[in-house]
Structure 1
Amino acid sequence: ICIILACDGIPFTSGFSFDWTQFIITELISLIFASILPMAITLYWAKKLNTDKDISNREDRFVPLIVGILSYLVGFAIALTLGVSNFLTVLILCYAVNTFIVLLITYKWKISIHTTGLTGPVAALIMLLGPLGAIVGLLYPVLIWSRFTLKKHTMAQAIAGGVFGLVMTVLEAYLYMDLLHLPVYNLVPLGECLWIILGLIFAPIVLGILTILNDNGKSNTKAIFYLLCILAIAFFAFFAPQSALIILILATVTSILVSYYGGENFSWFRAIR
């Protein structure tokens, strides 16, 4: 993200330039306050409690989340003061607010921080690059499989984390740009971003719902899934930007592959076998 923000123009063209000063400053801010410090406190807290690095026990997650919020807020304040990048400033604020909301959710429910952590940056890449940025989001179904297979989360928790990270980051970013008067130019329009996000999350959400139905004795979930996929593709073809249609197809194919190669114990496999 910091590399993209430091670029001015199209690479390999005569008008292209790269702002090394902005890159170094934004990279240091994001690396220290949005990565190293939150990760360090998580590892320290896990060691202190003598638990796994994921801190699987929901009640043990509050301190790392609070410290993470504070770290993001410090990074936001520094970025705002230096004025190096409006987009990075807004993005770090999104991370702080999202982490606070995750903290509130965690009091009652163990939403997946891993899928939230993946899709937050993916949302930023979508705003910057559109469908090219969304390609990274194809890891979302893979991460759902991983968290579920490792028994770290339920299917709903893993899916919800990703949906939350994508939707909230994009909506908040555009809101904060307006409220804080921090304009960022040449971003993908909000509407297109939301269509692309819908394309990314459609198949995982449908598979999650069909998994519940299948586990409760509902038959024909495979036929229902493929029918819904066909209808979704037709709907996107008529109403959505072409970029969102492409992402819908890629994300659906990825989800199907994860379903079939995730193993017989993976609930998506049972839903569409």
Structure 2
Amino acid sequence: MNSKLRLAKTISTFTNPPIICIPLFIIICLTLSIDNLWQFPVLEMISLIFASILPMAIILYWAKKTGNDRDISRREDRFTPLIVGTVSYFIGFLVSIFLGLNDFLTFLFLCYTINTFIVMIITTRWKISIHTTGLSGPVCALIILLGPVGAVFGLIYPVLIWSRVTLKKHTMAQAIAGGVQGFVLTAVEMFLFIFMFNLNVGNIYPFHHVCGFILAIVFTPVVLGIFTYLNNTNSIIFYLVEIIGLGFFIAITPIDVIIIYILTTIVSIVISNYAGERFSWYNIVS
């Protein structure tokens, strides 16, 4: 295995949803506990059990039972773990309600439940990326709570797309779509729940600002994905689209969103050049 494949494998391993959610949920729980740090151990324990330990145990057990790798690469074998994962997140939601935990964390579990259920439905027909979905959900939560600080974690998204495609676990469309779904659904659901149930979530970034960050993160990967499927390797057109995108962000979004857009574009270009000719983005950006 060459160095690029080893790096792709390492990235894929550490961005497995039950693993990547550990550091991200630590930040979420710390943020939610900022006014009362005594809440943190309870919030983190519930998050760890229902968002990480139980889903990971399910994945490992099912992978062993079906003779799969830890990614459960065969689409047909993913249905049962996704069902059990959905149940685990929903139990986390119910336990959080019972214990009277922070509203934001409680309804984030409900978002996880809904999003995993939707992934399960999609997976019956199409192998959408659970990795990119699992990254974008908690990153979206961090964006809602911390704005640009949370959005920085979105820079992992184009790198993860490269990893999953390079390892031939997903097509380009599947890897990109998982992230877009996770970002969009989590944002819409969280703000809908906040509005419907008048949740006490403290100071959060407004919906339009969150949408700006999400668009800044997904714009370049989506453009590169479209170019890939159109088999268009004209780098001049690509950079023209990116410049138009930059103009759009400058015209209607705050400076922090513009910075995230620029950083995501840079990361996408850098990972494309690192990947080389075997990765379709390389021929577009070079």
TM > 0.5:
yes
- Alignment of 1:253 with 2:272, yes or no, is no
- Contiguous gaps of at least 5 residues in structure 2: 1-27
- Alignment of 1:19 with 2:27, yes or no, is no
The 2-side partners of 1:77 and 1:100 are apart by 16
The AA in structure 1 aligned to 2:210 is: C
The 1-side partners of 2:29 and 2:233 are apart by 48
- 1:211: how far off? 1.2
Counterpart among 69, 87, 109 of residue 92 in structure 1:
109
The 2-side partners of 1:48 and 1:179 are apart by 42
The AA in structure 1 aligned to 2:29 is: C
- 1:184: how far off? 1.1
Q: How does 1:115-134 map to 2 (within 5 A)?
A: 115-134=132-151
The AA in structure 1 aligned to 2:244 is: L
The 1-side partners of 2:233 and 2:56 are apart by 44
8 Å contact kept, 2:159–2:271: yes
Q: How does 1:7-46 map to 2 (within 5 A)?
A: 7-8=34-35, 18-20=36-38, 22-46=39-63
- 1:219: how far off? 5.2
Counterpart among 241, 262, 268 of residue 275 in structure 2:
262
TM-score scaled to structure 2, two decimals? Answer: 0.89
**1:200 maps to which residue?**
217
3-state secondary structure, aligned to 1:184? coil
- Alignment of 1:5 with 2:32, yes or no, is yes
**2:23 maps to which residue?**
none
The 2-side partners of 1:180 and 1:59 are apart by 37
- 1:271: how far off? 2.0
Deviation per residue, 1:6-58 (Å, 9 max, x gap): 102xxxxxxxxx422x1111111110011110111011000001111101111
Structure number with bigger Rg: 1
Task: Decide which moves more: 236-245 or 41-50.
Answer: 236-245
8 Å contact kept, 1:211–1:270: no
The 2-side partners of 1:32 and 1:122 are apart by 19
- 1:82: how far off? 1.5
**1:184 maps to which residue?**
201
- Contiguous gaps of at least 5 residues in structure 1: 9-17
- 1:180: how far off? 2.9
The 1-side partners of 2:88 and 2:196 are apart by 22
The 2-side partners of 1:247 and 1:163 are apart by 16
- 1:145: how far off? 0.3
- 1:108: how far off? 0.5
- 1:178: how far off? 2.2
**1:13 maps to which residue?**
none
Counterpart among 193, 200, 223 of residue 236 in structure 2:
223
8 Å contact kept, 1:203–1:251: yes
The 2-side partners of 1:240 and 1:97 are apart by 30
- 1:247: how far off? 0.6
8 Å contact kept, 2:32–2:102: yes
**1:78 maps to which residue?**
95
- 1:182: how far off? 2.0
Aligned length: 259
The 1-side partners of 2:37 and 2:266 are apart by 38
Coordinate RMSD, CA, aligned: 1.0
The 2-side partners of 1:86 and 1:250 are apart by 32
Deviation per residue, 1:167-194 (Å, 9 max, x gap): 1101101111222332312000000000
3-state secondary structure, aligned to 1:196? helix
Task: Decide which moves more: 136-145 or 205-214.
Answer: 205-214
- Alignment of 1:175 with 2:192, yes or no, is yes
The 1-side partners of 2:83 and 2:195 are apart by 27
The 2-side partners of 1:249 and 1:219 are apart by 21
Question: Which of 1 and 2 has higher RCO (CA within 8 Å, sep 6+)?
Answer: 2
